[in-house]
Structure 1
């Protein structure tokens, strides 16, 4: 990983950690695969910090631009997957 995650500087340390955990879950899904429940939990925490759809699109768009990993496509796949499934992009 030779890039920095998109973060907002007005987040608290704990909020920043939660958002970064979601970003690393996205990476994990692309690189190794991730359990659906683990991903959904990370996304739920992310949405507590970033409730705005516009802000989510902006941040996830920045993540995709720098990493090539689409959080949007990943979450679409995860939402349609059955509980207990492993998600691999």
Structure 2
């Protein structure tokens, strides 16, 4: 990818890795699909770093501006699904 992920300089190295892995999972949702359980695990780690809704919206918006991928829509589809082995995929 030819863009930078939205990260905060206040985050630790481990937190930055968790956020980057979450955004890589979002990219997979659009590129080839990802199992629901894998996306859920990455989202849980992301929420440990970005627990607030307001900050989540801000980071999601920044990510969409640079990548064109909507983390919001991917997470919405994740939450609508209840089958663990289901592949989460968006066009």
Give the alignment's TM-score, normalised by structure 1: 0.97
- Give the distance between the partners of 1:28 and 1:83, measured in 2 at CA: 17
* 2:6 paired residue number: 6
Q: TM-score, normalised by structure 2?
A: 0.95
State the SS of the aligned residue for 1:65: helix
Gapped runs of 5+ residues in structure 2?
none
In 2: Cα distance, 1:74 partner to 1:23 partner: 10
- Aligned equivalents of 1:45, 1:83: Cα separation in 2: 17
For 1:1-89, what aligned pairs fall within 5 Å after superposition?
1-81=1-81, 82-89=83-90
Alignment root-mean-square deviation, CA = 0.6
After superposing on structure 2, the runs of 4+ consecutive aligned residues of structure 1 that deviate more than 3 Å are none
